[in-house]
Amino acid sequence: MSITHPYLMFLGDAPDQLAAKTAVGVAYWRRPWCLGQFRLAGCRADLGLPELGLEAAAAAGARTLLVGVANRGGIIAESWIAPLIQALELGMDLAAGLHQRLAEIPVVRDRAAALGRAVHDVRHPGRSFPIANGEKRPGKRLLAIGTDCSVGKMWTALALEQEMRARGFDAEFRATGQTGVMIAGSGVSIDAVVSDFVAGAVEALSPANRPDHWDIVEGQSSLLHPSYAGVTLGLVHGAQPDAMVLCHEPNRPHMRGLPGRPVPGFADTIAVHEAAARVTNPAAKVVGISLNTSALDAAAAERAIKAAEDSLGLPAGDPSRGGLGRVVDGLATL
């Protein structure tokens, strides 16, 4: 799956900014790819991009209309169909990360086929994958891991890619979730892959490379999350990480979706991920901590970062507050 940019960001009638969080991520990390935003009446999300109609976007060179909004239930609203069709007719491909597939809507599918346009349903892998062989591949790999779901693994991986490139590393983000795929323009939503093929899909996503090339692989969930840990284990085995960065959000009352289940501690999380990763890369180790301190004030955030460093003897930071420079410092020697 390879999505062509530049994008016109379709926000539909998103009731708030959270409903457009896919679009927010793409606009933040790939601003130069985003020509503008296209909103329907009543839309309350705003990416701060120029408002652009479909015809103006096509004239400006937009290649893909990116549906960056999620309804409750992940359904495609009736009111979206006409603009989707018009985008196809104006020469754009379509991309969406919803549960419901664009390609399941007969009028969209048929019009796209007739016009020769691509329809990317990034949540649904459109291909099959080989079984993983576990053989170590050349090139270096960093994997974002976490104490829980939704603690900032994608954000961390993208911040690491950005910082590493700024320092001259040959680094490349590898997407494993739908927002990441839209940001990278390629990748695979790993939690939608049939379980037998998860590790193999990650091997395919991050193939053999130059010895000094770094793939920065987006992580998913946690090995200690009872709902999704199997996804994580296939990802860890397939990624064969040389380095892992542990992502965490302080002060969560419980693991995501599981009231009453406390978030595991750093030491337990590091131990289980290092042991698992060493099945396919004996040198794998956690090299830093990435905290999501968005719920803390500046002083509390600084204390949390310092506490993590002191307790683990590893560099820590927040990608959105001071950055992960200290984590990247250590990568040059790996």
Min separation Cβ 178 and a copy of itself, Å: 12
Smaller CB separation from a copy of itself, 230 or 322: 230
309: burial class by Cβ within 10 Å (0-12, 13-18, 19+)?
A: middle
Q: Which residues bind a copy of itself (CB under 8 A)?
A: 131-134, 190-196, 198-200, 223-224, 226-235, 237, 257-258, 261, 272, 275-276, 279-280
Least separation, in Å, of the C-beta of 32 and a copy of itself? Answer: 33
Q: What is the dihedral of CA 22, 27, 28, 30, to 10 degrees?
A: 110
CB of 190 to a copy of itself, least distance (A): 7
Q: Judge residue 62's burial from the number of C-beta atoms within 10 Å of its C-beta, 0-12 exposed, 13-18 middle, 19 or more buried.
A: buried
Q: Looking up tokens 């409903």, which residue turns up?
A: 19
Q: Which is nearer to a copy of itself, 12 or 177 (CB)?
A: 177
Least distance to a copy of itself, CB of residue 218, Å: 15
Cβ proximity to a copy of itself: between 58 and 239 the closer is 239
Distances (CA, A) of 177 to 40, 60, 107, 204: 26, 29, 27, 15
Q: Which is nearer to a copy of itself, 91 or 257 (CB)?
A: 257
Give the residue carrying structure tokens 């664009």: 102
CB of 33 to a copy of itself, least distance (A): 28
Report the Cα 150 to chain-centroid distance in Å.
10
Contact status, residue 305 vs residue 293, Cβ threshold 8 Å: yes
61 or 226: CB nearest a copy of itself: 226
Identify residue 305 by its one-letter amino acid code: I
